[in-house]
Amino acid sequence: MTATMEQAAVAELVQAAAKSLSAALGIEASAGVPIASSASAAEAGETVALRSPVVVGDVTSGLVMVVPATGLAATGADAPQLVSALASGVGEGLSALVGTPAQVGAPEPAPPSDGTEVAFEFDLAAGSEAIKIQWVVEASLGTLMADGDPVDPPAAEGPSVAPATLPELTPAPAAGRARELQLLADVAMNVSVEVGRGSLQVRELLSLVQGSIVELDRVVGSPVDVLVNGTLVAHGDIVLVGDDLGVRITEIVEQI
């Protein structure tokens, strides 16, 4: 996960959280752009660190929020209420980000750091008040936001494993291909013949009446295109078969 991808993903969650806070408190709340942080906000001043458990499929991860203990004075929300309001927006934002339903649980005491998290800081404003919040993204959640492939924090180094030796693979006999194609022999296919194409502006289209002539991109005598299920397969000439029109195939398109 690159720093750019990670920061962009966190920014989406931050905006979703701010929207959720606005709905919860009934006032307009806005969040600034998250910036990667190397220092822990919990080390400076009176702060509260709470972890919101995040569940996506079979993966349980977490997002630790470090906020001033007083929360936003203008709203009367204390730190746990503030974190809970922000966390409720994370599930919706994360679901949209990874394409999988995500649930975010009630805030709980934050566990000790294991050194695999990444921290971001952003400013949160509501009314006339503004505070700085730090989000500590756990490793498995960070990877999930990057590419949808969650991983557990790295385990302690174990014994080395020798690479596996695989037998050499040989191509399967081609004799079975004819039988496989035979299974499709009775499948109906839609065949269409395209005489040519043309383009019209909207005003030209609206001016069409009975007897109007639409110019195509073919000259008289040019071969027509034969399409099967919309795919070009051959070229041919239009012929008369009794009272019906037909197409005499003159060239098979090689890519089929």
Q: What is the pLDDT of residues 120-138, one digit of tens each?
A: 888 888 877 888 888 888 8
Cβ(67)–Cβ(126) under 8 Å? no
pLDDT of residue 99: 76
pLDDT of residue 104: 84
Q: Give, in order, the Cα–Cα distances in Å from 160 to each of 26, 152, 164.
A: 57, 19, 12
Residue 40 burial (10 A CB sphere; 0-12, 13-18, 19+)? middle
pLDDT of residue 79: 76
DSSP state of 110: P
How would residue 12 be classed by pLDDT, with cut points 50, 70 and 90? confident
What is the bridge-based pairing of β-strands 224-228 and 191-194?
antiparallel
Q: What is the pLDDT of residues 204-252, one digit of tens each?
A: 888 888 988 888 888 888 889 998 888 888 989 988 888 888 888 998 8
Map tokens 């993966």 to a residue.
59
Cβ(61)–Cβ(144) under 8 Å? yes
Cα(175)–Cα(130) distance, integer angstroms: 73
Q: Which homologous superfamily does the CATH classification assign to the domain defined by 189-252?
A: SpoA-like (2.30.330.10)
Going along the chain, which residue ranges are E strands? 29-31, 35-37, 47-56, 59-68, 102-104, 108-109, 118-126, 129-137, 191-194, 224-228, 231-241, 244-252
- Please name the helix (run of DSSP H) or strand (run of DSSP E) that holds residue 13, with its range, or none: helix 3-25
How would residue 154 be classed by pLDDT, with cut points 50, 70 and 90? very low
For the chain, give every residue range classified as CATH 2.30.330.10: 189-252
**Is the pLDDT at 93 greater than 60, yes or no?**
yes
Which CATH code, of 3.90.1150.110, 3.10.20.30, 3.50.50.60, 3.40.1550.10, is assigned to 3-147?
Answer: 3.40.1550.10
pLDDT of residue 109: 84
**Is the pLDDT at 157 greater than 60, yes or no?**
no
Q: In the sheet that 224-228 helps form, which strands lie side by side, from edge to edge?
A: 191-194, 224-228, 231-241, 244-252
Q: What is the pLDDT of residues 58-80, one digit of tens each?
A: 778 888 888 887 767 656 567 77
Q: What is the pLDDT of residues 14-58, one digit of tens each?
A: 888 888 888 877 788 888 888 887 655 555 557 888 888 888 877
Average pLDDT over residues 90-117: 80
State the amino acid at position 174 in one-letter form. Answer: A
For the chain, give every residue range classified as CATH 3.40.1550.10: 3-147
Q: What is the pLDDT of residues 135-146, one digit of tens each?
A: 888 877 777 776
pLDDT of residue 141: 76
Q: What is the DSSP string of 136-173?
A: EE-HHHHHHHHHS---PPPPPP----PPPPPPPP-PPP
Cα(74)–Cα(240) distance, integer angstroms: 84
Q: pTM of the prediction?
A: 0.50
